[in-house]
Each structure stands twice: as C-alpha cells, then as structure tokens.
Structure 1
Amino acid sequence: MSSTSSLSRAFASNFLGHSPDWYKLAILCFLVINPIIFSVNPFVAGWVLIVEFIFTLAMALKCYPLQPGGLLAIEAVVIGMTSPAHVKTELLANLEVLLLLIFMVAGIHFMKELLLSIFTKLLLNLRSKIALSLAFCLAAAFLSAFLDALTVVAVIIAVATGFYAIYHKVASGRDPHHEGHDHTSDEEVKELTREDLDLFRAFLRNLMMHASVGTALGGVCTMVGEPQNLIIAENAGWQFIEFLLRMAPVTLPVLVFGLITCFVVEKFNLFGYGAQLPESVRKVLLDHSDAQDAKRTNRDTARLWIQGMVAIWLIVGLAFHLAAVGLIGLSVIILTTAACGITEEHKIGKAFEESLPFTALLAVFFTVVAVIIDQQLFKPVIDWVLTFEGKSQLLMFYVANGLLSMVSDNVFVGTVYINEVHAALNNGTITRDQFDLLAVAINTGTNLPSVATPNGQAAFLFLLTSALSPLLRLSYGRMVWMALPYTIVLTIVGMATVFFFLPEMTHWLYSLDLISHHQPGSTDVPSGH
C-alpha cells in the first residue's frame, strides 16, 4: 500500500511539472467534465472547451499552454468533437503559416549578429533618451514588419542582458571582462553603485517596453508581421503589397500616434518611463563596445556584410512575393549558413529551438478551430454581428476581436474570426468587398488592443518569461501598467480609423488601381479555400 501511495504521489508530482497544485487540479477537472457535458449538449461542451483553452493561454506563466491545451485538444478528438481528418485539413490549409514559423524564425536566428550590432549602436550613439526610445520603437517596428516579432524581441533581450551583465560586474567591483560572474545576484553590488544599477534597470525596462510595443506597431502592417496576418492574407488571397496597402489606412495613423505616445510618456515621465542612463554606466558600456570593435576580425566584418545582403534579399523576396514566405525563410537559412561557414548540424539545430514550441502550440490552435467549425460555435455570434451593416459592422468586429485578444492569444482569435467571416462570404451573407474590409478590421483588432496584457502578444509573453524580466524587475503587473498608455491610444485610434477612414480610403485605393477591386455582390473566394 505504501509503495502504491508513493507511486501515486510521484505521478501527481510529474503531471505538468512545477505548475501549482490548483492548476493541475483544474486541468484534471476539465478533462473529467468535458465528455460528460458533450454527451448532454455538444454546443455547450464546445464553448466550455474554448473557455478552458483560453484559460490555459491566460495562465501561460504557470505552465506553457502546449501541454494542458494539447491534452484538451486530444480529448476533443477522442470524444468526437472533431475528427483527425478535419484537424489535418486545417493544418494543410495553414501550411504556409507553419512554414513561416519553422523556417523564417530559424533563418533570422543566423542574422542575430547584424541585429545585435544595430541595436548596440543605437543604444550607445544616441544621447537623448527620447530619441533613443523613438529609435528603438521604430527599429523594432520596421524589423517586425519583415521578421518574426519573437525574434526581434529575442535580439533586443540579448542586447539588454549583455549590457546589464557588463555593468553588473563593474557594480560588483569586478572587471567588465571577468568570466563566471553571476549577474542575477546583487549580493556583491557596492552601495555606491547600487543607485546607478537601479536607474540602469529602469532605463532598460523603458527600452524593452518601447521595443515590444514597436513589434506590435510594425507587426500589424504586413502579412508576415504576425502568424495570424498570414492566415488572414491567405483567406483573402492578398499578397505582400496588397496586404500592406489595405492595412495602411489604419496602421499608418496608429504608427504615428504610437510614436507620439512614446514621446509623451518619456517627456513627462509617465507610467514608469523617463529613466535616464547614468553617465557612469554609459562610460562602462562604451569602453566595452570599443574593446569589442577592436577585436573584430575581417572574418567577423565579412559575416556582417553577408547578413546585410541576405536581409536585402529577404525584404525584396517578401515585397515581390517571389516565393512562399516559409520558403524565403528557408533560403535565408541556406544562404546565411553557407556564406558564414555554419555547417555543423547541432549549430543549425539551435536555430529551431525558439520556433518549434510555438509551432506545436499553433497545431493545437487549429485543432480547437476544427472543433469550432464542426460544432458551429461562433455561428450565433457571427450572425449577430452580421446584423449590423456598413461601418457599424466593421467597428463591432474590431471591438469583438480586440476584447478577446486582450485575454487570449491573438493568433487564436484572428484565426477563428477570419474563418467564420470566410464562411459568411461563401454563403453569400456578405459581399467580397465587405469581406475585405472585415479582414482589415479583424487583423487590426487582434494586433492592436492585444498589447494590453502579455497574454495577447506572443512577443510580450516571451519578454515576461525571459531571464531578463526578473533582472529588470519587470513583473506582469508592471508590464500591464507600462503598456496602458499604448493600449488606450492604439485601441482608440484603431477604432476611429476603422470606422471613419477605412471604407473611404479603400475606395480611393480602388480608384488608383493599387488594389484589386471586386464587383458589387461578388463572393469570389481565393483558390485553395
């Protein structure tokens, strides 16, 4: 009996690892009640599954959603809420998104050296904090329009962690080149430098938040900025330039007001912003950077040039849609590794570590999407929203997507809504032109209000769960507070532009033949859907 009891405790301890006991119990309760509810009322069971899945996304800090969400998805297939064949169909329909995450993120991993150099020069060469904040926000926005936001944030985290570690050594009385120093502990930090270290933490917190918001500002603009953008573009049959132009009536004003917000919070020291880089810290970082530049060899410089040329190919390839996005990412891997001499399998394998967990989670997303379609869960909601007409309909879709994206992952929300709207198009409920406008409302609705919490934006969650956050004292609550001014401004400006400008500006783009126009009453569906 004793051995059986011990074995049971071991199983309980292993289940979902270090997650809290209450969380483990909640997941087990979900798994028990779902088949019971499904046997009574499949429609209610489907909505219960959605709430449970959103719960796993919201509790991502307690446990990565792949495991608990995956268990729920597997059970849904087993009890008949959807079928393995339908899940496969959803995965095949979104193959380009999966390829984007697998190959593009891995490809950018081999360009980190160039990106690190860019952000390092920005941090050390711009003396004005306001100018530096705007530069970080703009640089992150530009990069996120062409690269994966997670990778951009990962690069900036690497820059900030490196600088923090360098100064932490000095604050602890060690040489900045000292190896083996533990920069996670303040026990050796001298009292005379502790205040500067705290100021440096606040300074880096500011830059990390500005850059993270920048990834949202840029990510909403293009079809490769966020995974759901590509799903929306695929459903609408848009290529890179058309997607960019259709989003511009909303994304350009939002970008301008986002940068104005960055300026205001820094200028007036609002919401925890306005921290300055202490001069003593700048001197230490500058000396270290000069020492690193002096050690740079011709081979190192050649790698930077190679990465720069591959970056140009990446932008050109995406802009002219020379190949599927994932295949362009694969070409980046091949070109960069071949030209830079990275030929060992284990070194190439490291590049895929960042993307594959989220790729697996996305496959679970599509399983839940299959349940939503089979059980027609969103039909009543969509039917109600579609009772509105014209601009009011656009606004309702924007608000519905925005509110859900604040508490759940925006990839999940965007995928669900664009599929439902596409079904309405197929059924003749809406015209093709209205579908195009709704696609813009869905894309901007999932991308902009989602900066409210780390749950909505994968880049924010990545920052919060990184090793840098505890070093900078960047907690969940502090991140929500620092994101609040951006949340208010981006959400309101997005709503206003969707309601007042989007239809008119879209018609203007039609008149200039910059985007494809469909005849009134058309319900053309892009091929492959």
Structure 2
Amino acid sequence: MQISLTQAIYKNFLGHAPDWYKQVIVGFLILNPLLFTFVSPYLAGWVLVLEFIFTLAMALKCYPLQPGGLLLMQAIIIGMTSPEHMYHEIKTNISVVLLLIFMVAGIYFMKELLLYLFTKLLINVKNKRALSLAFIAASAFLSAFLDALTVIAVIIAVGMGFYSIYHKVASGKDFHHDHDHSSDDDVEQPSRDDLENFRAFLRNLMMHAAIGTALGGVMTMVGEPQNLIIADKAGWDFGEFFVRMSPITIPVFFAGLLTSYVVEKAGWFGYGAKLPNVVRNILSDYNTHMDEQRTTRDNARLIAQALIGIWLVVGLAGHYAEVGLIGLSVIVLATAMSGVIEEHALGKAFEEALPFTALLCIFFGIVAVIIDQGLFKPVIEWVLSYEGKTQLVLFYLANGALSMVSDNVFVGSVYITEVTTALHNGQITRDQYDMLAVAINTGTNLPSVATPNGQAAFLFLLTSAIAPLLRLSYGRMVYMALPYTIVLTLVGLAATYFGLYELTDTLYDLHWIEHHNAAAGVPAAPSPH
C-alpha cells in the first residue's frame, strides 16, 4: 500500500518510537520558541531541562540522542545558548569524552578476563546477599581508584557475558554458536520463566554495582571528575582529600552496605531475586567447558590481560596520565597481546561507547543553556546568604537536588567556582571554604543516585545495550535506587551537620590546617570552636 510523502516523513521521524512519543517531541519543538520569545527565557530554559530529562526517562522508547539533539539544536537556533559555548563545555570536559571513547573500548578487550573472574565469583558465592555485598563493595573499591564510568563499563561487560551465555543455551544453541540475544523468539517455556527471573537477578546486581560506584567514587579525588576539580581548587592531595571526606564517606559506605543487605533480605524495591538453578547449572557448565577448551595461548591472553589490569589500576590511582589516555594504552596493549589487529575487529569495541559519547556532548549543550540562562544562580545566591552549619546543610542539599536534575560534574564545578570566588573576595574564611568544599563534593555524589541523569555512570547504564535486555528502564532505576537515595542522603546529611566541625577541630589539634594554610599562603585562623 502506497503512502503519501507526508506520511512517509512522519513514519521516518524517530523511527519505531510510539506515535504519542513523536507527538510529544513535536509539541516540545512548537512550545519552546513561543515560551522563549513571548513569556520568559528563564522559564523556557527550565522547560528545556525538564524536556531533556523526559527524553532520558523514555530511553527505552527512543534513544535520547535524537530527540534530545533536536531540542538542543532548536535551543541554539533561538538563542538559548551558542555553538561556541557548547564547544567550550565539551573542551572543558574533554577528559570525560576521551574516557568514554577509549576506556570503555579498552574494557571490551579485557572482557575475557573479567568474565572468567566474575563467573567464578557467581558460581562459588551461592548466597545472594553475600554476592550483592561483594558486588557493591568491589564496585566501591574500584571506583575509589578508577573512574566510576570505567567500573560500570566493567560491570556491563560482565552482565552482558552472563546474559548472552544463558540466552544462547535457552534458545537451543551451544556455547560456540553465533546468536542474537536481543530476541526471545526461540526461548520457550519453562526457559522463558527462568529468563525473566535471571533478568531480575542481573538487574539487582547491576543496580548494586552502580550504587557501589557512587559509594567509592565520593571518597577519593580520582573517583569522579568533579572530585578532581574540587581537589585542584582546594589544593588537596590524594590523602588529604580522603581524610577530609571521611567523616561523611565512611558512615555512608557502611550505611550503603547495610541497605543492600536489608533490601535483599526483605525483597523490597525489586531486589531479592534469586539465580535460578538451571541458570547456575548452565553457567557452571560454561565455566567447565571453557576450562577444558582453554589452550596455552588462551592462558597467555588471560595473564596479559591481568597484567594490563594491574597497569590500569596503578595508572589511574597514580594519575600518571589523563584517564582517556590510559584507556588508549589499554587498547594498544590488550589488542597487541591478544592478536586483535584487524580494523573491523577493533571497530566492535567502540559500538557501545560512541552513541553515549554523542549523547553526552548533547548534554554539555544543555549545560551551556543552564549557564547562559542562569538557571541555578538564584539557588546559589540563596545558599550563600546563610552561615555556619545551616550553610553546610543547605550546600549539601542544594547540590544534591540540582545534581538530580542536572549533572553532578557540572553542579560541583559551578558551586566550587562560586565558593572559591567568595574565598578570594574575603566573604568566607579558609576553614569555612574547606568544609563547604566537602559539602559540595558529597552533595553532588550522594543524593544524585536518585536519577540516572544525576551521575554519568548511571546514565551510561541506562543507555547501554544491556538495559533493554534486562528491562531496566528510567523509572525502574529510580524505583530501585530509592532506598539508597533515602539512606545515603540522610546519613550524609547527618554526617555533614555533626561531623565536619569536629573534623576541623581535630585537624587543628594535629596542626594540619596550619601547615596547609601556610603552604597555600593563607593566614592562620582560629579553630571554629
């Protein structure tokens, strides 16, 4: 049946997305210039931010790059921001862009080792609560020394490996057969029920691991991009950053582990899913099969990947180069030692990272709109008008709230810049500045777990290839993160209120602050008490 050109254009617009979704996006594109021109640029800016969040929330209906990109292009055309400002934001965050391009691809070439190690873990640890704690603790530890995006890329690679192994067997194929694991057409009962239970089980592990990246990432200056920015402006080294954050990060870490145990034991918020015995048996058979089939060359690859993994941890912990460049070195080393030298074989490693990299650049364009329209300025000025512990609490909460709707890297950068300016202008003392820097860092890292757009690692998980396979939607991620959001936010808030002044007194007693101030050229100040 022939259709008109107009119908064809409409059908092509956003492809297989539902009609209602297409109509909503068209409505957004009609509304925005009217609001900007005739009502208020400030209001139009906030509406654009909410529209972009909507595209993220509907990621399983349509990848956010296309609708979000259309909204941003229109915003640039009508004058909400400029291409130059967007380019500036991308350049400012080039380390994150390089990390996505190279580090995620580098992890792809180490998936053989990762699958080997995590398969052993999954088979040998049969208690789900213990396994969940192992995932969250391992993710936290790795995120304290690596970037959270790197860690979540590892977890995604492991989850994809587990899923594809079972899906292949459930579809009636052997381990060595090629298979499309995105289609369930060949999966019949009772395997289909086991597949749904396995999906729920993997969703649990993915979310625990994602939360773990936040728990570990907040602790050290290399855990998150904004941590580096804050540490640089405050003049803190690795050890001082960890010590200053510890009154908040240590209690929050153990609170996170306790939350994991409770939700798994009680089966709340979608947790508590068990690994079906048939799936465990298949993974065990796969492990045995791979052990039997593994040759000396295969063992040599595993050893090489293990050594590269050590270099990865040491290189990132020591910050010997930008994260993306270390990722590039991993690609070179892993492919050279694995015999992967064909161009088409290399290209597969970049399939996962590049769409998200493009989406992140769109996000930086939205950040440019936020800056140009001054969307956060009233909140910043309001918080700075308070003093003492109230100011600390409000900084923590304001950073957390803004990070939920924006990006924690952007929010942290904006706030630490404003506070540094206040220090230089004599509005606050050095000890106030240090405590505010801690509140900014923890505020951007902890409450932001509430939504996928709050943290790049969560957004990466939502838009990854594994999310639709596990039915991990935006709403489900928010729901499953809710207990952690409540606990981490409240524990962090209490620690901010009761812990920072006590730590400052302790550092004065140890003469740390005097030495730090002297090195920074800041006059000595009395203890806040």
TM-score under structure 2 normalisation? 0.83
1:383 CA displacement: 0.8
1:158 CA displacement: 4.2
Q: 1:465 to 1:82 in 2, by over 3 A?
A: closer
Of 338, 345, 348, the match for 2:346: 348
Q: 1:394 to 1:155 in 2, by over 3 A?
A: same
Residue in structure 1 matched with residue 449 of structure 2 by the alignment = 451
Residue in structure 1 matched with residue 260 of structure 2 by the alignment = 262
Matches for 1:155-304 after TM superposition, within 5 Å = 155-167=154-166, 180=179, 184-185=183-184, 189-191=188-190, 199-233=197-231, 235-236=233-234, 238=236, 240-304=238-302
Q: 1:343 to 1:439 in 2, by over 3 A?
A: farther
Residue in structure 1 matched with residue 126 of structure 2 by the alignment = 127
Q: Are positions 1:8 and 2:6 aligned together?
A: yes
- Does the aligned pair in 2 maintain the 1:50–1:368 contact within 8 Å? yes
Counterpart Cα distance in 2 of 1:515 and 1:312: 37
Counterpart Cα distance in 1 of 2:385 and 2:336: 56
Counterpart Cα distance in 2 of 1:371 and 1:165: 41
Residue in structure 2 matched with residue 367 of structure 1 by the alignment = 365
1:362 CA displacement: 3.1
- Does the aligned pair in 1 maintain the 2:149–2:460 contact within 8 Å? yes
Paired-residue identity, %: 67
Q: 1:464 to 1:88 in 2, by over 3 A?
A: closer
Of 374, 377, 397, the match for 1:376: 374
Over the aligned positions, Cα root-mean-square deviation in angstroms equals 3.7
Counterpart Cα distance in 2 of 1:38 and 1:194: 50
My pick for the range that moved more, 302-311 or 220-229, is: 220-229
Q: Which amino acid aligns with 1:341?
A: G
My pick for the range that moved more, 394-403 or 321-330, is: 321-330
Counterpart Cα distance in 2 of 1:313 and 1:233: 24
Residue in structure 2 matched with residue 526 of structure 1 by the alignment = none
Q: 1:411 to 1:362 in 2, by over 3 A?
A: farther
Counterpart Cα distance in 2 of 1:358 and 1:366: 12
Counterpart Cα distance in 1 of 2:471 and 2:82: 45
Q: 1:42 to 1:459 in 2, by over 3 A?
A: closer
Counterpart Cα distance in 2 of 1:340 and 1:50: 44
Q: 1:521 to 1:381 in 2, by over 3 A?
A: farther
Q: 1:366 to 1:341 in 2, by over 3 A?
A: same
Q: 1:119 to 1:339 in 2, by over 3 A?
A: same
Counterpart Cα distance in 1 of 2:414 and 2:490: 23
Residue in structure 2 matched with residue 405 of structure 1 by the alignment = 403
1:124 CA displacement: 0.9
Counterpart Cα distance in 1 of 2:511 and 2:296: 49
1:243 CA displacement: 3.9
Counterpart Cα distance in 1 of 2:197 and 2:29: 47
My pick for the range that moved more, 143-152 or 439-448, is: 143-152
1:460 CA displacement: 3.9
- Does the aligned pair in 2 maintain the 1:378–1:420 contact within 8 Å? no
- SS of match in other structure, 2:123: helix
Q: Output one character per residue of 1:381-433: Cα deviation in whole Å (capped at 9) or x when no partner.
A: 21111111122222112212323434454445445544544554565544454
Residue in structure 1 matched with residue 111 of structure 2 by the alignment = 112
Q: Output one character per residue of 1:61-87: Cα deviation in whole Å (capped at 9) or x when no partner.
A: 443333333333333433444444433
- Does the aligned pair in 2 maintain the 1:136–1:211 contact within 8 Å? yes
Q: 1:474 to 1:371 in 2, by over 3 A?
A: closer
1:292 CA displacement: 0.5
Counterpart Cα distance in 2 of 1:170 and 1:190: 13
Residue in structure 1 matched with residue 526 of structure 2 by the alignment = none
Of 481, 485, 491, the match for 1:493: 491
Q: 1:506 to 1:77 in 2, by over 3 A?
A: farther
Residue in structure 1 matched with residue 95 of structure 2 by the alignment = 96
Residue in structure 2 matched with residue 336 of structure 1 by the alignment = 334
Q: Output one character per residue of 1:352-394: Cα deviation in whole Å (capped at 9) or x when no partner.
A: 3333333333333333333443443332221111111122222
Counterpart Cα distance in 2 of 1:475 and 1:460: 11
Q: 1:320 to 1:389 in 2, by over 3 A?
A: same
1:176 CA displacement: 6.1
1:138 CA displacement: 1.4
Q: 1:13 to 1:488 in 2, by over 3 A?
A: same
Q: Are positions 1:392 and 2:387 aligned together?
A: no
- SS of match in other structure, 2:300: helix
Residue in structure 2 matched with residue 68 of structure 1 by the alignment = 67
- Does the aligned pair in 2 maintain the 1:110–1:351 contact within 8 Å? yes
- SS of match in other structure, 2:332: helix
Of 301, 309, 316, the match for 1:318: 316
Counterpart Cα distance in 1 of 2:493 and 2:359: 30
1:259 CA displacement: 1.0
1:264 CA displacement: 2.4
Residue in structure 1 matched with residue 482 of structure 2 by the alignment = 484
My pick for the range that moved more, 390-399 or 79-88, is: 79-88
- Does the aligned pair in 2 maintain the 1:57–1:409 contact within 8 Å? no
Q: Which amino acid aligns with 1:366?
A: F
Counterpart Cα distance in 2 of 1:131 and 1:50: 40
Q: Which amino acid aligns with 2:73?
A: I
Q: 1:200 to 1:247 in 2, by over 3 A?
A: same
1:501 CA displacement: 1.2
Q: Output one character per residue of 1:217-254: Cα deviation in whole Å (capped at 9) or x when no partner.
A: 22333344344444544555555554444433322221
1:258 CA displacement: 0.9
Q: Output one character per residue of 1:34-59: Cα deviation in whole Å (capped at 9) or x when no partner.
A: 44444454444444443444443444
- Does the aligned pair in 2 maintain the 1:58–1:407 contact within 8 Å? no
1:156 CA displacement: 3.4
Counterpart Cα distance in 2 of 1:514 and 1:330: 39
My pick for the range that moved more, 310-319 or 200-209, is: 200-209
Counterpart Cα distance in 2 of 1:218 and 1:352: 26
Counterpart Cα distance in 1 of 2:30 and 2:471: 39
Counterpart Cα distance in 2 of 1:101 and 1:344: 22
1:293 CA displacement: 1.0
1:486 CA displacement: 1.9
Q: Which amino acid aligns with 1:253?
A: P
Counterpart Cα distance in 2 of 1:391 and 1:364: 37
- Does the aligned pair in 2 maintain the 1:228–1:443 contact within 8 Å? yes
